[in-house]
Each structure stands twice: as structure tokens, then as C-alpha cells.
Amino acid sequence: MPAGDSFFIATPIFYVNDVPHIGHAYTEVAADVLARWHRQRGDDTWLLTGTDEHGQKILRTATSHDVTPQQWADKLVTESWKPLLETVDISNDDFIRTTDERHEAGVQKFLQKLYDDGFIYQGEFEGSYCVGCEEYKQPGDLVEGTGPFEGEQVCAIHSKPVELLKENNYFFRMSDFEQRLLDLYEQQPDFVQPETVRNEIVQFVRQGLRDLSISRQSFDWGVKVPWDEEHVVYVWFDALLNYVTAIGYGVDDEQFHRRWPAVQLVGKDIARFHAVIWPAMLMAAGLPVPKAVFGHGWLLVGGEKMSKSKLTGIAPQQITDVFGADAFRYYFMRAITFGQDGNFSWEDIAARYQAELANGFGNLASRVVAMITRYFDGVVPVAGELTDADLAIRETELRVTAAADAAIERFAINEALASIWELVDALNGYITEQEPWALAKHDDQRERLATVLSTALRGLGTLTVLLSPFIPTATHTLWESIGQGTLTSQPVDRAAEWSSAPAVVPLAAGLFPRIEQPEPAA
């Protein structure tokens, strides 16, 4: 896309029922890397995240802790969810809570419009409801229970019994949008990504869509239905609207049209809500659908999906306390193919930390800065005539920049990093071959030494620009030592055009210090 375009990216808003695990941090980091990259190529970027605070599950959790649902939500947002963003260094532009006044007003406005336009009607509904999912379940979504629930039908995700609910509710005419949705998936094949998730969604809609029950009468923790205050809005219908209420839907048209439509990252388990219900809601309101809905995979620990309830939940801070936020970000973006499930292990992150960050990139940076300090008193040397080896480094800088930019454009975050790492490897190989320490022993090789270190420094600066969306802290430190201006204002899609300071400043310590204890004590 041409630089300067609007790039609005949203994570799902997180349910405040519980505390964050590394799966939540994974989604945040992926969205943040994409946002930082786009921001740094000059796009009009906006990163939105936030929390989902309504619904029966929150009400029950709060009640069981003897607090009001609002108190419960406030506590979790302050103590867990906002700190998560700091733990993994998220550069969000906004944080929306579904209990925000701006959100509740926007939900009511949207709902009233759909009601006035005939997309909402009143009806009787009976179905099996999973409070864990906050969703009515189809018979095919249920499985035989085990253990205490043997002989009962349970939710396949939560392994807990469902509740038979009968309610007089308001319904959204979702079935009206079946064909329009199928046309959308057909005409805009990259609307749902990756392919596996897209196929699942198309398959699901082809089986036929039922109208959606969008209000509840049995409890009152939610946004009131504007024309019938006995009802609160179904928590998913409420939550999905955050993506437009946050950017001024119904109150600030200028902001809204500047940002919308969004790119939306979601876990694949909630892709249905985002790729079926959400575009149908938008179509009903006469608004454009999202640019893309990307369903990423699950993080597995020992082959099991990460979740608190399955006892495999790992708090992001357990990892950042040992390795730091940069390594957390790098590891999950590099080791897992974005869009597929991926396994986390302490051994794997420790190995990559050592080999790739400390030895690969960190060591390269230390050596180049140290040699310029030692052989040229820190003054950045001017290159003389370039050999093929020097030109090959320049060529690699340009090639990996273009490859990484193209990979980011198609959400292939891990491929972008793999491309950038070709430059890390090329520079390490170049230094080994050119042996600047040997050149330094001969006065008549002075010009060649200047050319080699100048070439290495140029490559290192390009790397710093390219890696800044991924590892913002280490690259900032390195930039303070070698660069001119602000790192985050260097155009990432023209990374090789960076300007070095007249002299380098020695690095006080390694960018990635040695880790003594790669796994936290149990």
C-alpha cells in the first residue's frame, strides 16, 4: 500500500473475567508490530485495544467475589489488563472499555438505527446456552460430558454443562445477510485470513444462518436496549461495536471516516463472531465491512491450548521477568508462523534468545561499535572504493527491506523477521571474511579498514530501523549509540537511507545480557 494511507488495526477486546495469559499478550504483540511497522512507513496508523466488561459471566464472577461488576471490571483493568500492555511494550493509541460512556451511547445509537430500519424484531427463543462462551450452542457444538458431568451434554470448549434458556428476546435478522456474506467472501477472498479460517467460515455460512438473539432479560449487567429498558444488549453484539464506537461512530464523523474500516486480528476461535456476525451488523447499518479479519492460531504448551482453565496458563510477566519484553516479542513473532498454532517452550525461547538475539544481533552490534571506537576513536569512517563483498551487503539491505515490507503487508510477520535475519547473518559472515582486526594491524590497509567498518555500520543501522517495530527497547539503545534523529521516525520501508551520527558512542553493556536461569524457579 502507498505510504500515508489509513491503517487502523484492532485487537479483540479482552474479557475481564480473568487475568491475562500469554495468548492475550501474543495477539497484542502481533497487532503492535503491525502498527509500529505501518506507523514507521508513514501510514496514518491507529492501534486500538481494550476490555469487554459486560455479560452474565462477569456478573457471576463479581458476585462470587462480593463486589459489583463495575468494581470487578475496574480492578481487573487497573491491576491486570493495562499493566499487560506495559509488560510487552504495546504502543496502543486508544484503550476502550465497554463500560465507557462513549461506547454505551454508540451501542444504543447503532441498535436504534437497526431497529428503526427493520432489522430487529421481538421473538421467543429457546436454546442451550454456554455462559463460558456467552453464546447459544448448536447441537453440533456440544459433546458428551466426562467426570462429574458424565451423561450430560457439555460445551466442547468449556467441558461444562450448558443451560437451557427460554427468553423473549430481540432478534437481529442475520439470516437476511447469508447471501451477501457469501458474496463478500467470494469477491474479497482476503477478507478472512488465513485460508484455513476462511474455509471454515464459508462452510459455516453455507449451512445457513439463523437470526441472532441480541438481548437478554434475565440479568441487567449490560447496555440497555434503548426502546425497551427491560432488556440488555447481548454481550457479543455490544462488544463488537467497540471497533466503531472507539473511533467516533455517530458522534465524530471526521474521525470515523478517517479510520474506518479496520484490519482486525482475532484468535481463530472467535473468527465466527468477527467474520460473520460483525460484517452482517455493519451491512445492516450501511457501513463498510472491515478490510480484513485475520484469525491467528493458538499457543500450545505441551500440545494443549493455553488457557487458565486448562491449568497451562503462563503469565506474560513470568517470561519477561527472565528474558525481557523485547525477547518475548521477538520469540513469539519469529518462532510461530502467524496464522498457525504454535508451541511455546522455555527451552526454545532460551535457545533463540542466546543464538539469535544475543549472539546473532547483539554481538554484531557490540563488535561493530567497539571496532569503530577502537580503530577510529569512535569517528564514523568514510568508505573508499567498494568491492563486490561491500556491494553485496548494500544489495542485501535493500532486498530484505522490500521483502519484509511485503511480508508485513500479508500478515506474514514471521517471514518478515526471517528476511531481516538474512541481513544479520550476512553482516556476521562479512565481518568474519573481511577480518577488520587483521586489517587494523597494517597501516597500508587503513582505507580498506574504513570501508569495511563503514559498510558494517551502514548494515547495522539498517537492521536497527527494520527491527525497531519488533524489539523497540534494544533498537532504541543501539540507535542512541549510532544513529541521528529519532529511530521511530526513520521510514522502515526505506531503512537503508538512515543517517549515522558523526561518531559512535560505545555501548555500556550488551543489548541482550547473558541469562543465568533460563526458566523461572517452580
Query: Hey, which residues between 185 and 244 contact Zn ion (CB under 5 A)?
Result: none
How many residues touch Zn ion under the rule CB under 5 A: the total is: 6
List C-alpha distances in Å: 289 to 223, 275, 283, 285, 428: 23, 9, 7, 10, 46
Q: CA-CA distance, 289 to 53, in Å (whole number)?
A: 24
Q: Between 29 and 155, whose beta carbon lies closer to Zn ion?
A: 155
Q: Does 157 bind Zn ion (CB under 5 A)?
A: yes
Taking the complex as a whole, the smallest distance from the CB of residue 75 to Zn ion amounts, in Å, to 24
Residue 243: HSE in the Cβ half-sphere, 13 Å Cα cutoff = 26
Taking the complex as a whole, the smallest distance from the CB of residue 148 to Zn ion amounts, in Å, to 16
305 part of the active site: yes
Q: Between 160 and 446, whose beta carbon lies closer to Zn ion?
A: 160
Q: Of 291, 277, 275, give the one whose Cα is nearest residue 238.
A: 277
Q: Does 158 bind Zn ion (CB under 5 A)?
A: yes
Burial 52-88 (b: 16+ CB within 10 A, else e): bbbbbbbbebbeeeeeebeebbbebbeebbbebbebb
Q: Of 158, 160, 224, 476, which residue is the catalytic one?
A: 158
Question: In this chain, which stretch among 10-18, 54-62, 130-138, 253-261 interacts with Zn ion, using CB under 5 A?
Answer: 130-138
Q: Does 133 bind Zn ion (CB under 5 A)?
A: yes
Taking the complex as a whole, the smallest distance from the CB of residue 130 to Zn ion amounts, in Å, to 3
Give the containing element (helix H, strand E) for 212: strand 212-213
Taking the complex as a whole, the smallest distance from the CB of residue 61 to Zn ion amounts, in Å, to 15
Q: Between 269 and 497, whose beta carbon lies closer to Zn ion?
A: 269
Q: Of 325, 267, 326, give the one whose Cα is nearest residue 298.
A: 267
Question: In this chain, which stretch among 150-158, 251-259, 320-328, 463-471 interacts with Zn ion, using CB under 5 A?
Answer: 150-158
347 dihedral zone (left: phi>0; alpha: psi -120 to 50; beta): alpha
308 part of the active site: yes
Q: Of 54, 130, 268, 296, which residue is the catalytic one?
A: 130
Query: Hey, which residues between 400 and 459 contact Zn ion (CB under 5 A)?
Result: none
274 part of the active site: no
158 part of the active site: yes
Give the containing element (helix H, strand E) for 58: helix 56-64
Q: Of 38, 155, 231, 268, which residue is the catalytic one?
A: 155
List C-alpha distances in Å: 327 to 97, 224, 426, 513: 29, 44, 22, 11
Q: Of 109, 113, 308, 476, which residue is the catalytic one?
A: 308
Q: Does 109 bind Zn ion (CB under 5 A)?
A: no
Taking the complex as a whole, the smallest distance from the CB of residue 268 to Zn ion amounts, in Å, to 16
**What one-letter code names the amino acid at 472?**
P
296 part of the active site: no
Taking the complex as a whole, the smallest distance from the CB of residue 158 to Zn ion amounts, in Å, to 4
Q: Does 132 bind Zn ion (CB under 5 A)?
A: yes
Q: Between 274 and 334, whose beta carbon lies closer to Zn ion?
A: 274
Taking the complex as a whole, the smallest distance from the CB of residue 208 to Zn ion amounts, in Å, to 22
Q: Of 38, 103, 133, 274, which residue is the catalytic one?
A: 133
* From candidates 59, 84, 130, 467, binder to Zn ion by CB under 5 A: 130
133 part of the active site: yes
Q: Between 155 and 416, whose beta carbon lies closer to Zn ion?
A: 155
All three cell numbers of 489, joined, read 521516525
Contact 34, 263 (CB under 8 A): yes
Q: What are the backbone dihedrals phi and psi of residue 6, each rounded to the nearest 5 degrees, phi first? A: -75, 135
- The DSSP letter of residue 162 is -
Q: Between 131 and 365, whose beta carbon lies closer to Zn ion?
A: 131
Q: Between 88 and 133, whose beta carbon lies closer to Zn ion?
A: 133
Give the containing element (helix H, strand E) for 484: none
Q: Does 270 bind Zn ion (CB under 5 A)?
A: no
Q: CA-CA distance, 418 to 316, in Å (whole number)?
A: 24
21 part of the active site: yes
Strands (E) located in 299-419: 299-301, 304-305, 342-344
Question: In this chain, which stretch among 153-161, 278-286, 309-317, 501-509 interacts with Zn ion, using CB under 5 A?
Answer: 153-161
Taking the complex as a whole, the smallest distance from the CB of residue 341 to Zn ion amounts, in Å, to 19
Contact 170, 132 (CB under 8 A): no
All three cell numbers of 387, joined, read 568491492
Q: CA-CA distance, 438 to 449, in Å (whole number)?
A: 9
Q: Does 155 bind Zn ion (CB under 5 A)?
A: yes
Which residues are identified as catalytic?
A: 21, 24, 130, 133, 155, 158, 305, 308
Contacts with Zn ion by CB under 5 A lie at: 130, 132-133, 155, 157-158
